Amino acid sequence: MNSKWDETQTRIQAAKELLAQAVDSLTGTPNLEIALRVYGHQSAITATFQDCNDTKLEVPFGEDNYTRVKNRILSIVAKGTTPIARSLEAAAGDFPDATTRNIIILITDGLEACDNDPCIIAQKLKDKGVKITPFVIGLGLDLSYLEKFNCIGAYSDAETKGAFKTVLKSVISKALLNTTVQINLNDISKNPKETDVTMFLYEAGTKRLLYTFEHTINQYGNPDTLVMDPKYKYDLIVNTLPKIEKKGITILKNTHNTIVVDAPQGYIKVRFLNASKPYHVETRVVQSGSTSTINVQQINTTDKYIVGKYKLEILTLPRTYVDVDVTQSSTASVDVMAPGYLSYKTAHLIVGQVFVVKEDGTFEWVCNLDQETKSGYWQLQPGAYRIVYREKNLKSSSNTIEKDFRVTSNKTSSINL
């Protein structure tokens, strides 16, 4: 705990500061009593000795003992070993009433250092019918050690002071409310495997935002457990593409609730096949049967979408239109030929338009020429084109001129008009 956590504080200093703040926030909470047990603070560890009995109930459970707990926290000095198992076993006997909700919050920056196995102690307590809910907060622990704590209780890791503050607040909220929620974002097989998307929870029927969560699959492969106030009904918005809404959600108090949302997703990737350099082109994405734009996706990127059919308008010149079918966890790749360029010059101001010559010999408008300049530069898709124009100051249609040209990927076609 004496290891540096940042440039100004050690882990023990940061933990003491934030724990003291947490105790202050609990002051006056009805039907709550707290106690403080500390280990590794009485006997110094040496090269030849560690005191595995160094665990002590510093402040017993009692009403209105918050100041005592806070003051004792601030005076603790870390100097000993890490007897987690013995401390856990001793803590089970600290609770004065076996009929209440008894909760242990274990904070450690190391593994068990003595001869006992915390998993065995945790199982013994369960076998004896000791109803204790342990929460374990690991400070800067190597994440490869996570499985060492699975047998004790719900584990949260905190690699920074800020993370510890967030985790501590979450754990205390879970302990106090005992109302938890997991939001299952189901894939096409009804398995809760979709994740990594922002969720907004509003008070039902209003625009009052109560919670914002970035959906996470925890270290056990399950949707993360959230703490939410059961006194509200909720409207849920899952910010997938397109977004999903679920309204009028009720959660039950003092139990674990599961909210199920069907959110099967796959990917669309739009890319240039043969680009010799970066080209900046956007793609407008709409659901089939709709006219609303749900995303503007850059070329050579991949975005995630709800399973279904989409229409893509790739903002090339001329426009490229593609129908796409998104399937579960698969990537629908849309390949576009890299553009080329048209560069033109003229001795006089002109008016005119550029057309692409389609395979059936018909013409499709692409763009208008700028009437106020004598040169222009266009990024165009490969193919055959025709410019139709006349000098601006000539007022007879008989002065119309046509000029054909071809555009090749990654190359510039230069013409004089």
Is 4 inside any structural domain? no
217 to each of 165, 179, 192, 213, how far by Cα in Å?
21, 19, 9, 12
- Say if 5 falls within a structural domain: no
Return phi, psi of residue 118, to 5°: -55, -30
Whether residue 20 is found in the same domain as residue 153: yes
What distance in Å separates the CA atoms of residue 139 and residue 156, rounded to the nearest whole number?
A: 9
Residue 251 and residue 224 share a domain: yes
Choosing from 227, 262, 297, the residue where a domain stops is 262
16 and 80 together in one domain: yes
Range in 7-16, 57-66, 228-237, 385-394 with the lowest mean pLDDT: 7-16
For residues 172 and 189, membership in a common domain is answered with: no
Instruction: Please give the pLDDT value at position 96.
Output: 85
Distance CA 318, CA 385 (A): 10
Asked whether residue 277 is domain-assigned, the answer is yes
Q: What is the pLDDT of residue 335?
A: 96
149 alpha carbon, distance to own chain's centre? 25
Task: Clarify whether residues 51 and 88 are in a common domain.
Answer: yes
CA distances for 378 relative to 61, 386, 400, angstroms: 78, 13, 21
What's the CATH number where 111 sits? 3.40.50.410
Strands 244-250 and 132-139: unpaired
Boundary of a domain, candidates 153, 177, 201:
177
Predicted pLDDT at 344: 95
340-361, pLDDT tens digit by residue? 999 999 999 999 999 999 999 9
Give all strands of the β-sheet with 282-287 in edge-to-edge order: 293-298, 282-287, 308-314, 320-326
Q: Is the domain of 314 the same as that of 364? A: no
pLDDT tens per residue across span 107-157: 887 777 787 777 777 777 776 665 556 677 777 665 555 556 667 777 777
CATH of the domain at 322: 2.60.40.1120
Residue partners of 99: CB distance under 8 A and separation at least 6: none
Maximum mean pLDDT: which of 70-84, 162-176, 269-283 = 269-283
Q: What is the pLDDT of residues 288-311, one digit of tens each?
A: 999 999 999 999 999 999 999 999
Specify if 322 maps to a domain: yes
Q: Global pTM?
A: 0.68
**Residue 2 placed within a domain:** no
Distance CA 88, CA 72 (A): 20
Check residue 282 and give its pLDDT: 96
Specify the number of domains making up the chain: 4
Residue 3 lies in a domain: no
pLDDT of residue 56: 94
Q: Are 33 and 138 found together in one domain?
A: yes
- Give the pLDDT of residue 245: 98
Q: What percent of the chain has pLDDT over 90?
A: 58
Positive/negative CA dihedral, 92, 93, 99, 104: negative
- Model pLDDT for residues 247-264, shown as the tens digit of each residue: 999 999 878 899 999 999
Are 311 and 358 part of one and the same domain?
no
398: in domain: yes
Asked whether 336 and 320 are in contact (CB, 8 A), the reply is: yes
Highest mean pLDDT among 97-101, 150-154, 411-415: 411-415
Q: Which domain CATH number covers 364?
A: 2.60.40.180
* Domain that residue 332 falls in: 265-336
**φ, ψ for residue 85 (rounded to 5)?**
-60, -50
208 and 173 inside one domain? no
Which two structure tokens, joined as six digits, stand for 308? 């279904």
Dist. CA 158–CA 175, nearest whole Å: 18
Per-residue pLDDT at 106: 84
Rounded-to-integer distance, Cα 117 and Cα 83, Å = 10
Instruction: Tell me the sheet residues that pair with 104.
Output: 134
Residues 33 and 58 in one domain: yes
| 251 and 361 part of one domain | no
> In whole numbers, what is the pLDDT of the chain averaged over residues?
89
> Could you tell me if residue 184 is inside a domain?
yes
100 has a pLDDT exceeding 90: no
Tokens of 291: 């006219």
Q: Given 306, 336, 366, which residue is the final one in a domain?
A: 336
Both 120 and 187 in a single domain? no
pLDDT given for residue 129 in this prediction? 61
